């Protein structure tokens, strides 16, 4: 039901200029979906909808261009909590040890984050190596990971 409702929300905002949550509730009701304002508010947050200015000078709901970064942040957190065994750095190199078979998933999630001080990454079965621009950026990255996992 949630995924159906959220897909309907995406369809509605793609086809119409929706300015308010009340308008969105009305359009959903017209499509046979009854829900509450609180649920719509949560859906808007989960779908990463934002209000953007249209050519006509009104604000309407739209999918955020930063959605992918937010999704990757959530995925990275989940992947790290579920699979990372350890991490450390030596100078500008960060080494992340993961459970067997999950090194590439960790690397892909990190690559999707577009970390500004990361030069590149290399992933294997259970290890991901990050090349950072400076020693300080490697230390900062490890500290962010430590905070994320605590």
Taking only the tens place, the pLDDT of each residue in 11-32 is 999 999 999 999 999 999 999 9
Task: Identify whether the C-beta of residue 114 lies closer than 8 Å to the C-beta of residue 70.
Answer: no
3-class SS at 109?
helix
**Gap between the Cα atoms of 24 and 13, Å rounded:** 8
Phi first, then psi, for residue 45 (nearest 5°) are -65, -45
Whether pLDDT at 61 is above 60: yes
Whether pLDDT at 75 is above 70: no
Q: What is the mean pLDDT of residues 44-51?
A: 87
Q: What tokens were used for 64?
A: 């955020």
pLDDT for 4 equals 87
Whether pLDDT at 68 is above 60: no
Instruction: Using alpha carbons, select from 80, 53, 48 the residue that is nearest to residue 65.
Output: 48
Residue 65: pLDDT band (50, 70, 90) is low
User: Angle 21-30/37-46 helices, nearest 10 degrees?
Assistant: 100
pLDDT for 73 equals 61
**Gap between the Cα atoms of 92 and 115, Å rounded:** 14
**Gap between the Cα atoms of 97 and 80, Å rounded:** 10
Task: Identify whether the C-beta of residue 18 lies closer than 8 Å to the C-beta of residue 59.
Answer: no
Q: What is the value of pTM for the model shown?
A: 0.53
Percent of the chain residues past pLDDT 90, beyond the cut: 52
């Amino acid at each position: 039901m949630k995924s159906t409702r959220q897909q309907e929300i995406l369809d509605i905002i793609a086809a119409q200029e929706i300015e308010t949550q009340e308008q969105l509730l009305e359009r959903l009701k017209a499509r046979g979906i009854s829900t509450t304002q609180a649920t719509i508010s949560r859906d808007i947050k989960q779908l990463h909808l934002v209000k953007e200015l249209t050519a006509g000078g009104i604000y309407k709901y739209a999918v955020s261009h930063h959605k992918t970064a937010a999704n990757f942040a959530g995925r990275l957190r989940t992947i790290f909590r579920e699979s990372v065994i350890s991490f450390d750095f030596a100078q500008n190199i960060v080494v992340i040890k993961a459970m067997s078979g999950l090194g590439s998933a960790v690397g892909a999630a990190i690559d999707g984050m577009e970390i500004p001080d990361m030069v590149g990454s290399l992933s294997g079965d259970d290890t991901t190596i990050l090349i950072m621009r400076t020693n300080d950026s490697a230390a900062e990255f490890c500290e962010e990971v430590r905070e994320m996992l605590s």
